Chains A and B, each alone.
Chain A
Amino acid sequence: MTTITSPATIPSVKELERSARKSTRTAFRALFLRDLTVLRKSLKEFLPRTLLQPFLLVFIFTYVFPKIGQGVGGSGAAAAEFSTRLVAGVIGLSIMFQGIQSVALPMVQEFGYTREIEDRVLAPMPVALVAIEKVISGAFNGLFAALLVFPIAAIVPATPVHLDINWPVLLTLAPLACYMCGALGLTFGTRFDPRTVPMLFGIVVLPLTFLGAIYYSWSSLAPIKWLQVFVLVNPLVYMCEGFRAALTTSEHMSLWAVYPVMIGFSALFTWLGISGFKKRVLS
């Protein structure tokens, strides 16, 4: 065996506390780099899982239905209005799926019997920031997914889609939505028993999506008042309405409601996620 290098001498406590800042920054970046590498290596799975659902949604609702005369929203102008509205919903949906898939699902393994997350928890940075890094990388996954889905939603529909992009709203709302969903993923991944996380899709994500103002705008629920009020607990509603404001001229919930509520949800999920994460990795 070749030589083993001699170990470093120990810096003074003061020096270590001073260098903790720098080691945190470097470790945070390295964790993100690790996640990017995992994303790059799993692109083969990432692409179909990201693209298939939005493609099918858009294809069936805005291509097949109009062609077979079973249009949702009627025909002509109304059908076009529906396609336009669906674009925003599909993007919101993709971001939320990404948040859960890229943050919550890997935790099943990471917190599993072998606790492979441990080596990352031992990186020289605060544990809370290891959790935040997961949210940020989940948000990045969501942004990437949204970029991929956007062309599908705009091109596939048989009826014309009228986009009218409000850039300031889009450029602030998209990162906020991605962050919120990353934090939602962290909350799910840490607050649920790892073994039940895969079940999340059936019992939590499905209702979230069907009651998430993806296929309809929130205001159009007015005839069913109780439902309109009930779905207000669903973060996806605010995202889809926000994207409607950012991308279309369709009617949408006031941005004065969308932004504060999304910021509130982000803070809540971040807090729930970080404390859940700490509970899992520290004992």
Chain B
Amino acid sequence: MSASVEQRPPGVGSGPDEVIRTEQLTKVYPGDIRAVDGLDLSVQRGEIFGLLGPNGAGKTTTAGMLTTRVIPTGGRAFVGGVDVVAHPTAAKQVIGVVPQTNTLDRALTVWENLYFHGRFFGMGAKTSKTEATRLLEQFRLADRAEAPVLALSGGMAQRLMVARAIMHQPAILFLDEPTAGLDPQSRIALWDILGELHAAGQTILLTTHYMEEADELCNRLAIIDRGKLLALDTPAALKQSVGIDAMVTVTAAGDLDQLANVLRDEIPNATTVDHSDGVVRMGVRQIQGVLPKVVEAAERHGFSVSDLSSTEPTLETVFINLTGKDLRE
């Protein structure tokens, strides 16, 4: 079997608790666009699993293949043990999906969107009615029940799509960038909902390009870029894997190439030093006493430091380390 086995933390592996599995999953779109390229993933029951990657990394395509809407061109994918390509109807019974775009049924009202979704998934008329009403209460949309979905704000529409996706109690919930375009308040409200679902044992696969979201919510994270898996672990382990205690950012005028060289030579604790966007970034192992040395060294070589900061390593650091580029272009 493939390398993903060794990457699994202890106790994580195939077996009855594995609810999502991909083996060398690949999607090549016409025009030889390798959107997903040999992806191996394994998600355990009850996990919030994150797919983190920049625009075009292949997150939506991966979620699309797992939810039967995108047909893989190679490899295999299983949800709840069901091969999604061979048995899409069986697979669709166990998943709930919040797509990246608003796919609410505009011919129906807010309440009807939920009601008919319940019916699609085999809920009786009565159950579907009471569940639709209950969910609207729970997601604070009850006062909009009779409104057309076009009258909802972006955040409300997003809440309604989450309500719709969990209505039939899917074993696995997929959310594709659920908080993109939400204001901070709505984002936190959605995080709370996902937290509650997680507490109730819901398995969740979530895609995002927000570091904070991945850090805050996910038990484990797969960092992907250009359709390839770059790293897979818990957020804490990923941050530790960078092997630094702090990230020092130096802003100064002048030839930053030269400044980077100076710092590389003069700061013994520095692990990595590079520069972009007018700042020098430096990974440091022992941060105590480093900052004064940075200023001293820079000024001795004729640089005047206008800003200096140090932060704990974040997922962003991890990402820059892995790809050599910033996640927010």
- Chain A residues near B (Cβ < 8 Å): 1-2, 4-13, 16-17, 19-20, 22-24, 26-27, 30-31, 33-34, 37-38, 41-42, 106, 109, 113-127, 281-283
Whether, in the assembled complex, B202 has its beta carbon less than 8 Å from a beta carbon of chain A, the answer is yes
Check if A6 sits within 8 Å of B71, measured CB to CB. no
Whole-angstrom distance between the alpha carbons of A17 and B91 in the complex? 9
Contacts A13-B90, A113-B101, A283-B29 given; indicate if A8 touches B169 (C-beta within 8 A): yes
Whole-angstrom distance between the alpha carbons of A115 and B173 in the complex? 20
Whether, in the assembled complex, B212 has its beta carbon less than 8 Å from a beta carbon of chain A, the answer is no
Measured between beta carbons, the chain B residues less than 8 angstroms from A38 are 107-108
Q: Chain B: how many interface residues by the 8 Å CB criterion?
A: 55
Whether, in the assembled complex, B193 has its beta carbon less than 8 Å from a beta carbon of chain A, the answer is yes
Whole-angstrom distance between the alpha carbons of A22 and B89 in the complex? 11
Partner of A5, one of B89, B91, B112, B200: B200
Whether, in the assembled complex, B105 has its beta carbon less than 8 Å from a beta carbon of chain A, the answer is yes
- Closest B residue to A6 by CB, please name it: B200
Check if A16 sits within 8 Å of B101, measured CB to CB. no
Whether, in the assembled complex, B88 has its beta carbon less than 8 Å from a beta carbon of chain A, the answer is yes
Contacts A2-B137, A4-B196 given; indicate if A124 touches B92 (C-beta within 8 A): yes
Chain B 2-23 near chain A by CB (<8 Å), digits 1 or 0:
0000000000000000010000
Partner of B171, one of A7, A17, A109: A7
Check if B120 sits within 8 Å of A20, measured CB to CB. no
Whole-angstrom distance between the alpha carbons of A11 and B169 in the complex? 13
Partner of A16, one of B93, B121, B196, B200: B93
Contacts A16-B87, A126-B88 given; indicate if A8 touches B171 (C-beta within 8 A): yes
Measured between beta carbons, the chain A residues less than 8 angstroms from B90 are 13, 16-17, 19-20
Check if A33 sits within 8 Å of B171, measured CB to CB. no
Whole-angstrom distance between the alpha carbons of A116 and B82 in the complex? 26
Contacts A30-B119, A37-B112 given; indicate if A7 touches B201 (C-beta within 8 A): yes
Check if B81 sits within 8 Å of A123, measured CB to CB. no
Check if A114 sits within 8 Å of B88, measured CB to CB. no
Measured between beta carbons, the chain B residues less than 8 angstroms from A113 are 101
Check if A119 sits within 8 Å of B64, measured CB to CB. no
Whole-angstrom distance between the alpha carbons of A115 and B64 in the complex? 13
Whether, in the assembled complex, B228 has its beta carbon less than 8 Å from a beta carbon of chain A, the answer is no
Whole-angstrom distance between the alpha carbons of A126 and B89 in the complex? 6
Partner of A118, one of B29, B99, B119: B99
Check if B104 sits within 8 Å of A116, measured CB to CB. yes
Whole-angstrom distance between the alpha carbons of A16 and B87 in the complex? 9
Check if B106 sits within 8 Å of A109, measured CB to CB. yes
Whether, in the assembled complex, B97 has its beta carbon less than 8 Å from a beta carbon of chain A, the answer is yes
Check if A2 sits within 8 Å of B138, measured CB to CB. yes
Partner of B70, one of A23, A27, A106, A283: A283
